[in-house]
């Protein structure tokens, strides 16, 4: 079975379409699957929309968090509740096409590898693409992942179980994946421009996230971690399974 994890923050208007497209793309190739939406304490109506969908969708699971923890912790929390043999992670803003999931999963299964969707296209202003490329070159060297590795990827259950146990107060998932000793494959995927309603990061936030990513990658490489083991379930308010069962 495949688990698709969606960290949700300010994505309410995209959820119906995104979840429907995921189902259709995986049903078309016969993949048994579930979708795990992690509501990262969104101040808008995301949880209301998710409750409406999950009440009628038995393949949807909603993990509602007590506080905002950020994209990477939200993804790791989703992994804890994912039941699949393979796990796919993607953003919930419709920039990444769900129709590419079957290809990514197929490559991961055939090669027993971490497969990243290498994002292609003019999906951001050219200045942002340039600075993003410079950062990714540095991060790739430190973390030992493909240059365009991002938060659209497929991993096995074994890899998932390894990274959710990794220590660190401010985890960065891509750096964690760089620590796992299996092949990392890049599969080019055309990405769309961010829609006007989608949440985004300011330049300052992007710099801060980049600094945290590099720091965590260095921690991974040289083994400097906090001693406290992660307890991701402590962030969860409630879990709603498909059909509305809590």
Instruction: Give the Å distances, CA to CA, from 203 to 132, 217, 225, 230.
Output: 11, 21, 28, 29
141 neighbors 68 (Cβ within 8 angstroms): no
Q: Is 240 helix (H, G, I), strand (E, B) or coil?
A: strand
Range with lowest mean pLDDT among 141-150, 175-184, 202-211? 202-211
CA-wise closest residue to 10 among 37, 36, 35, 39: 39
CA-wise closest residue to 54 among 44, 64, 65, 41: 64
Q: For the chain, list the domains and their CATH numbers.
A: 2-241 (3.90.550.10)
Q: Is 153 helix (H, G, I), strand (E, B) or coil?
A: strand
Predicted pLDDT at 47: 93
CA-wise closest residue to 174 among 199, 146, 195, 133: 146
Residue 201: pLDDT over 80: no
244 half-sphere exposure, CB direction, 13 A CA radius: 7
Predicted pLDDT at 243: 73
Distance (Å, whole) CA 97 – CA 22 = 9
In order, the DSSP letters of 165-180 are: T---SS--HHHHHHHS
pLDDT tens-digit map of 100-158: 999 999 999 999 999 999 865 544 545 555 556 666 777 777 778 888 888 999 999 99
Predicted pLDDT at 157: 97
Range with lowest mean pLDDT among 19-28, 121-130, 176-185? 121-130
Residue 212: pLDDT over 80: no
Q: b/e per residue, 199-215, with b = 16+ CB within 10 A?
A: eeeeeeeeeebbebbbb
114 neighbors 108 (Cβ within 8 angstroms): yes
């Amino acid at each position: 079975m495949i688990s698709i994890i969606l960290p949700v923050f300010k994505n309410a208007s995209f959820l119906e379409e995104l979840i429907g497209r995921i189902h259709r793309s995986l049903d078309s190739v016969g993949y048994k699957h579930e979708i795990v939406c992690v509501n990262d304490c969104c101040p808008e109506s995301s949880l209301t929309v998710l409750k409406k969908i999950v009440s009628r969708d038995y393949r949807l699971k909603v993990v509602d968090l007590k506080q905002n923890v950020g994209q990477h912790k939200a993804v790791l929390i989703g992994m804890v509740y994912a039941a699949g043999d393979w796990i796919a992670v993607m953003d919930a803003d419709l920039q990444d096409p769900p129709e590419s999931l079957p290809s990514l999963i197929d490559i991961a299964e055939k090669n027993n590898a971490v497969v990243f969707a290498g994002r292609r296209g003019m999906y951001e202003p050219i200045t942002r693409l340039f600075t993003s490329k410079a950062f990714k070159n540095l991060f790739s060297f430190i973390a030992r992942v493909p240059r365009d590795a991002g938060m659209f990827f497929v991993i096995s259950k074994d890899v998932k179980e390894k990274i959710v146990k990794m220590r660190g107060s401010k985890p960065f998932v891509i750096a964690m994946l760089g620590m796992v000793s299996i092949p990392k494959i890049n599969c080019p995927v055309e990405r769309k421009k961010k829609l006007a309603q989608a949440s985004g990061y300011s330049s300052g936030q992007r710099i801060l996230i980049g600094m945290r990513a590099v720091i965590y990658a260095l921690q991974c490489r040289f083994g400097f971690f906090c001693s406290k083991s992660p307890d991701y379930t402590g962030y969860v308010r409630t879990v709603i399974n498909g059909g509305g069962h809590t």
